[in-house]
Structure 1
């Protein structure tokens, strides 16, 4: 009996401290909401002695912390779409993806021994995907590889991708379906790529993909991909024709050189020749007069 009294006396300061300390709790510290809907960030004062404790809400960012509720009023953009609910909880309407993050509820109770308390609420906002961008090659020769791309950057959580050909969904691996036994493709549902190791004529068709998450889905426009036969005989024939033409031109040039056609053309070309001197005329060149012509009968 005496031991029980001593134990009570020892625990009394601790019990008194807990009774006089402000305490906070929350119904949900990890709320999840869809974009453009409303959400309540729960913050409840479990115990306090103060009649009018000071309440503050902050959004904790990686680089800076901003006030949401301070000095008994909403701050900035929050004044248009946020209110206090049940004295301390924060109600946000028309939530956007920019609202996701960590929010801190802080309560200061001057009459309590432990005057301050805080609790963090991590808000997650789910965003519906928008129409993804698809890249599909227009034409591919039979037997060649091909990759189709589908990408969407707005949805959260990150969407998964499903490819369709002629409005029919494609499996992740063509080998797993008897319907696509003649194809050789794989689909990466995380990256949105559809890869053919060797395309076949049966792979020709209209392709589109759908990006989806737990909020919704969106699809890209259809794109036509044509698979054509590679005309090997025609290509070889064209190469042979070009080689034959080049051979004939070379033979013709060689024959022209042998017959002297190019040499004759060179001799027949215009060239300057020094005029011949008439018989019986001698030239004496002087610096002042140039050429002085006289006949052989001229006598000094």
Structure 2
């Protein structure tokens, strides 16, 4: 019997608390802070809010970046979102999203009659892009025993692609084994050979994949491994070229000397003329050419 008044007091206290109106300022939340959608599909940026007294709050959506740009401002969509977006409450639906729509969005709700005027929440949108045909670099001809790198890159896929290489349409291993003379990095798409051999010749192609769409490959390119004979031929060709060059220089110098273009040639020619002049005017001792010039009487 003594506990009845206590129970009655508790019941009255609970009823009183329920009847007292709760004071809740504006609150903003989202049911999905990270949104991932495929390219050319629709993206829903969820934003829910509650206000204390304000019945017509101001709703704004902004996209963060180098320059913050408005998506929804003053009751309408702006920029590239105009005509391709709709709003329900504060939740925005973007139609036909592209890679340019990826980014961080901010939903802001302003309730001027509430004690706390502003509430906001952030939603990150990622537009998934399937692989594109990667650009591949495969050297046409390499010397046996040299180090070689093959490159593969797809700059458009989201998330970034991982790469695999095929030789003659057979997958190349990414494991580091003692009997393999190459290394393959799936993240960068680089295929490195420490020292190529004749068995490494063949057709190479690279494949890009990121789990969003079907993998894409570049066209196969043939790599040829040359032997030492090619370098010997090159040395002979260089030697022949050098000999022809020296011969041409000699001919030019001779022609220049004949025409008296060079100073040294002019000096040499002058010396030659002086020698011929001395030879022609040298006095002779031949008796047949002796001429009596004076007479003596004893």
TM-score (norm 2): 0.70
Q: Does 2:69 correspond to 1:66?
A: yes
Alignment partner, residue 110 of structure 1: 112
| 1:154 Cα deviation from its structure 2 partner | 1.7
Alignment partner, residue 228 of structure 1: 226
For the residues of structure 1 that align with 2:102 and 2:221, how far apart are their CA atoms?
Answer: 36
Alignment partner, residue 91 of structure 1: 93
For the residues of structure 2 that align with 1:202 and 1:277, how far apart are their CA atoms?
Answer: 83
For the residues of structure 1 that align with 2:170 and 2:136, how far apart are their CA atoms?
Answer: 17
For the residues of structure 2 that align with 1:123 and 1:72, how far apart are their CA atoms?
Answer: 22
8 A Cα contact 2:51 2:114, kept in partner: no
For the residues of structure 2 that align with 1:80 and 1:223, how far apart are their CA atoms?
Answer: 46
| 1:54 Cα deviation from its structure 2 partner | 1.6
Q: What are the Cα deviations for residues 76-122 of structure 1, in whole angstroms up to 9, with x where unaligned?
A: 221121111x2210111121222111111111223433332111111
- Number of residue pairs the alignment of both structures matches: 245
User: Which structure has greater strand proportion?
Assistant: 1
Alignment partner, residue 77 of structure 1: 80
Q: What are the Cα deviations for residues 155-212 of structure 1, in whole angstroms up to 9, with x where unaligned?
A: 2211111001111111113738xxxx5x522211011111122222221111010111
Alignment partner, residue 28 of structure 1: 32
1:155-166 mapped onto 2 (5 Å cutoff): 155-166=157-168
| 1:39 Cα deviation from its structure 2 partner | 0.2
8 A Cα contact 1:160 1:192, kept in partner: yes
Which residue, out of 39, 51, 74, partners 2:43?
A: 39
| 1:145 Cα deviation from its structure 2 partner | 2.3
Which portions of structure 1, spanning 4 or more consecutive aligned residues, are displaced by more than 6 angstroms? 2-13
For the residues of structure 1 that align with 2:55 and 2:159, how far apart are their CA atoms?
Answer: 43
Alignment partner, residue 127 of structure 1: 129
Q: Does 2:191 correspond to 1:186?
A: no
For the residues of structure 1 that align with 2:204 and 2:98, how far apart are their CA atoms?
Answer: 33
Q: What are the Cα deviations for residues 27-82 of structure 1, in whole angstroms up to 9, with x where unaligned?
A: 20111112222100001124554332221111122x32111111111112211211
Structure 1, 29-38 or 210-219: larger mean CA deviation:
210-219
Aligned partner of residue 175 in structure 1, secondary structure = coil
Aligned partner of residue 44 in structure 2, secondary structure = strand
Which residue, out of 185, 204, 207, partners 2:204?
A: 207
For structure 2, which runs of at least 5 residues remain unmatched after alignment? Answer: 1-5, 244-267, 285-292
For the residues of structure 1 that align with 2:106 and 2:82, how far apart are their CA atoms?
Answer: 17
Aligned partner of residue 16 in structure 1, secondary structure = coil
Aligned partner of residue 83 in structure 2, secondary structure = helix
Alignment partner, residue 250 of structure 2: none
RMSD: 3.6
| 1:12 Cα deviation from its structure 2 partner | 9.7
| 1:271 Cα deviation from its structure 2 partner | 1.8
